Structure 1
Amino acid sequence: MSQTVDRALSILPLLARGPADLGRVADALGVHKSTALRLLRTLHEHGLVHRQRDQRYRLGARLFALAQEAVEHLDVREIAHPHLVQLNERTGHTVHLAVHEEGEVLYIDKVDSRYPVRMYSRIGRPVAITVAAVAKLLLADLPEPERHALAAKLDYPMYTPRSIPDAAAFLKELATVREQGWATDLGGHEESINCVAAPIRGVDGRVVAAMSLSAPNVVVTAEELLALLPLVRRTADAITRDYCGTTPEEDTA
């Protein structure tokens, strides 16, 4: 990257922290004011920065428009898929990716396990919304009034003795999931199947998708699957970084 482009791009994160005058920009870049002014004028011409009446500069509206357009065209499935395959290869278990759309939670990707026992789930099909781990994560992220309204209108089929029986229990489960940042389905939909899940977040911190790792009891116990939860969460975090366009260093800064 050329030095000029590097310096120009360095201005954007500076202004993201708030408006700055020419002197502050020049000091932050370690350049003369005339150099900083040329860079700011170029960014201004493209709508990426705006000069206020007090002569300070802030981020321009064009930058926000570009960011919104980029977000609208992001394909979380395309971004997530290589990570899902890698997790499947490391564990051998089934991996799912799900999103919340129009009141349903749908599987949008799946990588099957290596063993003969296969799960019934299909891409494009809705999940069992009151018990699935991915659904719990997606619904737990909803604002509280929406969570309560949704819980009140759902049916609560008892797929197994471990299924969530009613709205009160469902809201309690969602509160726990929201606080801990991960979810499980330990025999709630099928007694022989266990699942652990983690959220994928967008640039605003909201949950845009959820991924899970599932396996039958005949392959691994629930305790053995839970031991893989840190790996699942790291995978989800890696997808989040790719989806948001950040690096691990930026995440921890």
Structure 2
Amino acid sequence: MSQTVDRALSILPLLARGPASLEQVARNLEVHKSTALRLLRTLHEHGLVYRQPDQRYRLGVRLFALAQEAVESLDVRAVAHPHLTELGAACGHTVHLAVRQEDEVVYIDKVESRYPVRMYSRIGRPVAITVAAVAKVLLADLPEPERRALAERLDYPRHTPRSTPGPAAFLEELARVREQGWATDLGGHEETINCVAAPVRGPDGRAVAAVSVSAPTVAAGPDELLRLLPLVRRTADAIGAEYSGKTPDARSRPADPRGEHP
């Protein structure tokens, strides 16, 4: 990297900590004020920095716009897929990635289980929104007025005796999911299928997707599946960190699937 580009880029993290004067920028870069001024003027022309009335410099709005465009251009499925594959290899069960699209939650990726009994689900197919763990995770993240409005207009089919019976129960469940940060579907859609899910969070902290592990009871009972929850959450955190451009720490890396009950 050229010295000029390196110096210009070094200004941005400095200003991220707060407005700085020309003298502060020059001192931080260890250059003459004329050099610092030339770099700041170039960044200002591109909207990456802004000179305030008090003559100090701060980050420009163009930088924030570029960051938002970069995030929006990311394909969360492309980012997530290697993590989903690793999760599937670690636990052996079916792994899904889902996103919310208006009043639906849709699977956008799937890693099949390693055993012969396969779970019927298809990429692009909406989930059973009032019972699915991925749906609960995504809808729990909505502001309360949106949650209430959505809960009131949904239908509540009784797939099994454990299905969510109506709006009040659904809102109560979403409040619990919002507080604990994960969700389950223990026989709510199919009596013999259990599922745990965790949110993938974007740079603003909002849930952009949900990761789940599902298994038939013959392969993993509810207690066994719940023991995988720490692994599912670490995987979701790792996806969110990469999607947001952050460096995941050790807590975000998938590990041995034999976690403790949450």
Range of TM-score over shorter length: over 0.9
1:96 is displaced (CA, Å) by 0.4
1:71 is displaced (CA, Å) by 2.0
Unaligned runs of 5+ in 1: none
Deviation sequence 1:76-124 (CA, Å, 0-9, x none): 1111111101111111110001011021000011111011111111000
Moved more, 58-67 or 197-206: 58-67
Partner of 1:241: 241
1:32 is displaced (CA, Å) by 4.6
Q: For 1:172 and 1:29, locate their aligned partners in 2 and report how far apart those are by CA, in whole Å.
A: 54
Q: For 1:5 and 1:246, locate their aligned partners in 2 and report how far apart those are by CA, in whole Å.
A: 23
1:237 is displaced (CA, Å) by 0.8
Q: For 1:188 and 1:216, locate their aligned partners in 2 and report how far apart those are by CA, in whole Å.
A: 12
Deviation sequence 1:53-89 (CA, Å, 0-9, x none): 2111111122122122212211111111111011111
1:2 is displaced (CA, Å) by 5.2
Partner of 2:124: 124
Q: Which amino acid in structure 2 is aligned with residue 186 of structure 1?
A: L
Would the aligned equivalents of 2:160 and 2:187 in 1 still touch at CA under 8 Å? yes
1:129 is displaced (CA, Å) by 0.3
Closer, same or farther: CA 30–198 of 1 in aligned 2, 3 Å:
farther
The alignment partner of 2:11 has SS state of helix
Q: For 1:9 and 1:212, locate their aligned partners in 2 and report how far apart those are by CA, in whole Å.
A: 39
Partner of 1:141: 141
Moved more, 47-56 or 236-245: 47-56
Q: Which amino acid in structure 2 is aligned with residue 82 of structure 1?
A: P
Partner of 1:26: 26
Closer, same or farther: CA 4–179 of 1 in aligned 2, 3 Å:
farther
Q: For 1:131 and 1:10, locate their aligned partners in 2 and report how far apart those are by CA, in whole Å.
A: 49
Would the aligned equivalents of 2:186 and 2:222 in 1 still touch at CA under 8 Å? yes
The alignment partner of 1:194 has SS state of strand
Q: For 2:67 and 2:160, locate their aligned partners in 1 and report how far apart those are by CA, in whole Å.
A: 45
Would the aligned equivalents of 2:242 and 2:248 in 1 still touch at CA under 8 Å? no
Partner of 1:169: 169
1:16 is displaced (CA, Å) by 2.5
Q: For 1:191 and 1:31, locate their aligned partners in 2 and report how far apart those are by CA, in whole Å.
A: 69
1:35 is displaced (CA, Å) by 4.2
Partner of 2:84: 84
1:61 paired to 2:61: yes
| Aligned structure 1 segments of 4 or more residues deviating by more than 6 angstroms | none
Closer, same or farther: CA 184–53 of 1 in aligned 2, 3 Å:
same
Q: For 1:132 and 1:24, locate their aligned partners in 2 and report how far apart those are by CA, in whole Å.
A: 54
Partner of 2:108: 108
Closer, same or farther: CA 155–46 of 1 in aligned 2, 3 Å:
same
Q: For 2:236 and 2:228, locate their aligned partners in 1 and report how far apart those are by CA, in whole Å.
A: 13
The alignment partner of 1:64 has SS state of helix
Paired-residue identity, % = 78
Q: What's the Cα RMSD here? A: 1.9
Q: What TM-score do the two structures reach when normalised by structure 2?
A: 0.89
Moved more, 170-179 or 16-25: 16-25
